[in-house]
Amino acid sequence: MKTKRHGAVLGLIAAGALLLTACGSDENAPSGAAPTTGESSTPVECGGKSKLNAEGSSAQKNAIDTFIQAYQQKCSGADVAYNASGSGAGVKNFNAGQVDFGGSDSPLSESKGEVAAAAERCQGNPAWNLPLVFGPVALGYKLDGVTDLTLSGEVAAKIFNGTVVKWNDPAIAALNSGASLPDKDIKVVYRSDESGTTDNFQLYLQAASKGAWTQGAGKQFKGGIGEGKEKSAGVAQAAGSIDGAITYVELSFAQDNKLSIAKIDNGSGPVELTNETVGKAIDGATIKGSGNDLVLDLNSIYASTTAGAYPLLLATYEIVCSKGYDADTAKAVKAFLTVAATDGQAGLADAGYAPLPKAFQDKILTAIQAIA
């Protein structure tokens, strides 16, 4: 996931919609909007270890950088060194006790032995998965003369597995009444390298396509068609240069390459990608972990039919010990994560992420305060 944003990442959002302010006020939010967060009245107890070490997901790197800046402003002399080495390394080195917390695109896996290894690292206490960073994924396309397009999970699946091959296919036309769709080939562009974005996109198709996507999920694209390009920049640049192209890519890449962004109809009408609609999807997420282990059931987002909820997201976790840190480390970890979940949210939109809605923020803060 790209996290650097050029221009107006929030250009899709109408004036007055959920822009974060320093005080976190929701007074300007449109009626029915999911509240977003900025600063919070939650107290931050600074101190403890002066420099935390963390490692993992590159998808959240710029979010972590934003959090670190807020942490340094809140707690003088405090710092975090974050190595964006990838989720696998983050989990491995957290479990080995080499870093104070890990970052991962996926929660700890019991079948891979990660849950048990983390408990051993945490002095016999369970580790918790805290989903602190969310990023929307866009269905970005370039189609001359068409800048307003709606797709569904089912139709997207048929496009990306080669069942629907023309832009004027009746399945697309049915979702875009009155639109003038050209008799033009659809050019699918996909990630050729292993990607958490690909995995999440295919999980979305699996959950939302009503059985149209049978290719499965995973970090390698399994659609069997199209042109592969490396990295988010590669797919976005390629799609931006081909009339008739479509790809799946993080929002900021789609905007940087002037791709149009499809609305998604999840059964309750077309939904535009905005902070409000992403926040509503996060708010509706089901947690399948127990207690303060906030492992998400992503199908509750991907397959949601909630009106006004944008369902195509990528979530990353901070993996922490529930207990088992020394006192100085525990104090610093709690301080950093508290700042990240409150003041740090004010910078996320500028980094291409979705700020936490208030109700979900409360769940995160409850878990953070329970770390001992």
Whether pTM > 0.85 for this model: the answer is no
Does the domain at 136-275 match CATH 3.40.190.10? Answer given as yes
Average pLDDT, the chain: 88
Q: What is the pLDDT of residue 41?
A: 66
**Residues 166-220: pLDDT tens digits?**
999 999 999 999 999 999 999 999 999 888 889 899 999 999 999 999 999 988 9
DSSP collapsed to 3 states, 242-293: CCCEEEEEEHHHHHHCCCEECEEECCCCEECCCHHHHHHHHHCCEECCCCCC
Q: What is the pLDDT of residue 40?
A: 56
Domain ranges of the chain: 35-135+278-369, 136-275
Q: What is the pLDDT of residue 219?
A: 86
Q: Is the pLDDT of residue 355 over 50?
A: yes
The CATH number of the domain covering residues in 35-135+278-369: 3.40.190.10
pLDDT level of residue 59 (50, 70, 90 thresholds) = confident
Same fold, 35-135+278-369 and 136-275: yes
**Residues 88-110: pLDDT tens digits?**
899 999 999 999 999 998 899 99
Mean pLDDT of all residues in 40-51: 89
Q: To the nearest whole percent, how much of the chain has pLDDT over 70?
A: 89
Q: Tell me if 157 sits within 8 A of 203, measured CB to CB.
A: no
Q: Is the pLDDT of residue 58 over 60?
A: yes
CA distance linking residue 87 with residue 76, whole number of Å:
29
